[in-house]
Amino acid sequence: MKIRTTAMVSPEQWGACNPLSRTMLEDAGVKLIRNDKKRLLVEDEMKELIRGCDVAICGAEPMTAEVMDQAPELRFIARCAVGLDSIDLNAARERNIGVSYVPGANADTVAELTLTHILMLIRGVQKGDALMRQGKWLRVLGRSLEELTVGIIGMGRIGRRTAKLLSAFGAKIIANDIDPDESINSYLPVEWVSKNRLLKEADIICLHVPKTPATIDIINEEELNLMKNDAFLVNTARGGLINEEALFDALNKNKIAGAGLDVYDKEPYLGGPLSKLENIIMTCHMGANTIVSRARMEIQAAECLIAYLDGDHIPRIVPDSEYDLQIAMKNR
C-alpha cells in the first residue's frame, strides 16, 4: 500500500485491545508515528512526536497551539475520547485543522464504573478488604440499593445508562438536568426534581455533567451541607465539578458517609489529601478503560481519520458548540 499520509498516534495503548484500528489505518495508506514510552506524554514530548505529521490521533495528551505549530502541515485531529479538554479547539480552528471525537463510545463502561463505586461504598467493600488483610474476621453491615434513593445530576448518555443499571437493582431514581428530557420516563422510572431537593433527599448522588463554567464546583461546601450525613457522593464525569477542599473537609469531619472519585481537578492525582482518608474510593480516570470501550473508541477515531483522507463525510465531527464552550471556559 502506498503511503498517503503520516499520522501521529499519541495514546500509549493504541491497538493493544484490538488491532483492527491499526490495520484499518495501515490499509488506508497511513504511516503511524507512535508513542513508544508506554505512558501519557507531556507537551514537550508531543511537540517532538508530531513533527512531520499531516494528521494526528490523540487521547488525553496536551494538544496545544504550541504542539500544533510543530507540524505546519497538520490538517486533521481525531480525538480518541469523548472529552475535549486536552485539545485547544480554537487554536485548531485558527490553523484550519479539523477535529473529530467519539461521543457515546464509552457511556456503558463509565456507567458500569459508577455502579461499581456505588456498590463498593454502600456495602463497605474497601473496609471489609482492609479488615481481612489485618487478619480480622468482622462482617461489615452494609446497605442495599433497593432501600436507597439515588440522585443523578446530568441525564445525558451516561446518566441515562447509569439510571438503567440502578433501576435493575430496585433503587429509587431522582434526577436533575438543565434541560430535562421527560421522554426518558417512557422507559425509566425517573422523578425529576430540583438540584437542592436532590441533594437533600438522595442517599447516593452521582455526577454526570460536562465541565462548563456553570458546572465547575457544582458541589461545594453549600451543597455538601445539604446532603444527608449517611449519603455518598460519586463523580466519574469530570474533575473540577467538586470542590476538593470542601469534599476533604466533609469527609474528614464525617459530614457525609463517603465518596467515590474517578476524576480530579488536576491529574494525575498522586498523594493528595483525599488519598489519606479511609471513607473514599479512588480510581485513576479509568471509566472508559475496558477492552470493548478502548477498541470502540479507537475504531471510531480511525473511521473519522479515514473519512477525512478520502474526502467523505466525517462522522462525529466536533460541533461549533464545543468551540464556544472552550472560549467560555477560558473567559470564566
Phi–psi pair at 154, nearest 5 degrees: 105, 105
Contact 235, 260 (CB under 8 A): yes
* C-beta neighbour count of 36 within 10 angstroms: 7
**Catalytic one among 43, 73, 147, 267?**
267
The H-assigned helical ranges of 239-316 are: 244-252, 291-310
285 is catalytic: yes
DSSP of 132-190: HHTT---PPP---GGG-EEEEE--SHHHHHHHHHHHHTT-EEEEE-SS--GGGGGTS-E
117 is catalytic: no
The span from the CA of 241 to the CA of 260, in Å, is 13
**Catalytic one among 117, 160, 208, 238?**
238
313 is catalytic: no
**Catalytic one among 157, 285, 294, 316?**
285
Indicate the DSSP class of residue 118. H
Residue 127, C-alpha cell as written in the block = 473496609
Contact 179, 224 (CB under 8 A): no
Q: In the chain, which ranges are E strands?
A: 5-9, 30-34, 55-58, 76-79, 98-100, 149-153, 172-176, 190-192, 204-207, 232-235, 258-261, 280-282
Contact 233, 243 (CB under 8 A): no
Residues belonging to the active site: 238, 267, 285
